[in-house]
């Protein structure tokens, strides 16, 4: 009987120890990363890899995405481009769609990878569906012209009074192009010129 009690106590002890053990994953394994929840903010500077999907709410909390300039946004957004300026500053261009699927909004943010702090962020432009029935409409584009400069191009399209062609290019009367430059300094400040 004494032996049976000893085995029972040993089994209970092993059961308690086994339930307190947790499995750990390799922190360098990107596939093993936990999924973000609406309560937990998962902001990792290693996420800023072109094509990487991020949680929009995390970037709103870090003030990378300004919701005052947009409509209701989708839950995920993407890193479009990342440029490393030096050891303490990189900047990324982030794209996020609205829930209606009508517009995509582009933002640029400079970040310190060591402290994981956002230094500055700015709205670049929107890219919305075009209503070709309007007499004029705007198209936007951006381009990295040097390591520290981003060119934003706004093209206003003026259509002909009589638009008879099914080809939209043939209905264009003329275009007006306006460029602006954003410069990102070695300290991470973003200035519009």
pLDDT in tens, 160-189: 988 888 888 888 899 999 999 999 999 999
Q: Does 13 have pLDDT greater than 90?
A: no
The pLDDT of residue 179 is: 96
pTM: 0.72
Return the minimum-mean-pLDDT range out of 13-17, 74-78, 130-134, 182-186: 13-17
11: in domain? no
Return the minimum-mean-pLDDT range out of 20-24, 121-125, 148-152: 20-24
Q: Domain range for residue 154?
A: 37-192
52: in domain? yes
CB 75 within 8 A of CB 63: no
1: in domain? no
The pLDDT of residue 45 is: 61
Q: Does 62 have pLDDT greater than 90?
A: no
All residues at 6 or more sequence positions from 20 whose CB lies less than 8 Å from its CB, including other chains: none
| Torsions phi, psi for 111 (to 5 deg) | -135, 145
**Number of domains forming the structure of the chain:** 1
Cα separation, 123 vs 126, in Å, equals 9
Please tell me which residue, 164 or 126, carries the higher pLDDT value.
126
When pLDDT is averaged across residues 105-130 and rounded to a whole number, the result is 92
């Amino acid at each position: 009987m004494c032996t049976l009690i000893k085995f029972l106590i040993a089994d209970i002890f092993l059961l308690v120890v086994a339930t307190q053990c947790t499995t750990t994953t390799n922190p360098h394994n990107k596939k093993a990363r936990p999924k973000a929840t609406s309560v937990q903010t998962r902001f990792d500077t290693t996420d800023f890899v072109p094509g990487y999907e991020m949680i929009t709410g995390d970037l709103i909390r870090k003030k990378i995405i300004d919701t005052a300039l947009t409509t209701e946004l989708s839950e995920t957004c993407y890193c479009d481009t990342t440029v490393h300026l030096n050891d303490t500053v990189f900047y990324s261009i982030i794209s996020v769609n609205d829930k209606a699927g009508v517009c995509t909004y582009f933002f640029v943010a400079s970040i310190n990878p060591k402290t994981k702090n956002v230094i500055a962020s700015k709205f670049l432009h929107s890219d919305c569906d075009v209503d070709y029935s309007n007499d004029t409409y705007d198209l936007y584009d951006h381009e990295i012209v040097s390591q520290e400069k981003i060119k934003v191009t706004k093209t206003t399209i003026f259509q002909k009074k009589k638009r008879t062609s099914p080809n939209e290019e043939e209905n264009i009367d003329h275009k007006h192009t306006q460029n602006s430059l954003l410069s990102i300094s070695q300290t991470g400040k973003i200035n519009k010129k």
